[in-house]
Amino acid sequence: MKITIIPATDLIDGHCVRLTQGDYARQTIYYRDPLEAALRFEGAGIRRLHLVDLDGAKASEPCNLRTLERIATRTSLEIQYGGGIKSREALHSVFDAGARRAICGSIAVSRPELFAAWLAEFGPERLILGADIRDGRIAVKGWLETSPTTADALIRQFLPHGLEQVICTDISRDGMLCGPSAEFYADLQRQFPTVEITVSGGISSLDDIRRLDQQQLRSVIVGKALYEGRITLQELEQCLPNE
């Protein structure tokens, strides 16, 4: 497979958790120390880690930078970090703590001119647009609010500013193990061939990932399926050498 597989580690109170459909009241703790999960992923040959600061998303500022720093210094994983990045200072703090890429969602909706300026300053290779959708509209502030903007409209807005990377999470499928909206993502990728569209939400098996790979999606985030053993690290090891 050519598709890049990116495990997700969601952080609350420094622990590795997973939410169901973005609901903070429906959380399961999988690792009390997220570094343990990161080391296991690295040992299986994983190269990138998706780290989401759920505390930061609610607080509107990064809250788990110490965890980010521990993982960045103890592993060679390329970390993409999101949650609460609302200011230039916050963005710098995330990069200083060891993130290779930063994910910005709410700020791109509320202050698009600022996100465009960051694309110019830090470069599109370091900034990822977080386009998380609920009922076809972009959700913001830790998925607690919904804006009137659609994913394709948000992406199109930043193309002139060099946007290259988008993570699109289907909130209705997140943590549900029901399979991804493959056609939706394939259509989005066809609309924006110069942008890497990362699939997020609903992955339940290796077959889901194979289908996305066949549809020429370039990257996919896997969370609950890994933590629940629906996809094993051994299975991933067999796929990764062929990326």
236 neighbors 44 (Cβ within 8 angstroms): yes
**CA gap 146, 155 in Å, rounded:** 16
C-alpha triplet 241, 131, 38: angle, nearest 5°: 40
- Tell me the CB-side half-sphere exposure of residue 39, using CA atoms within 13 A: 8
Neighbours of 32 (CB within 10 A): 11
Report the interhelical angle of 112-122 vs 151-158 (nearest 10°). Answer: 50
Report the interhelical angle of 88-96 vs 112-122 (nearest 10°). Answer: 40
- The residues carrying an active-site annotation are 10, 132
Q: Is 2 exposed, middle or buried (0-12, 13-18, 19+ CB in 10 A)?
A: exposed
Q: Which amino acid is at 120?
A: A
* In the block, residue with structure tokens 């690792």: 31
Rounded alpha-carbon distances, angstroms, from residue 243 to 5, 125, 185, 229, 231? 9, 20, 20, 22, 17
**CA gap 51, 15 in Å, rounded:** 11
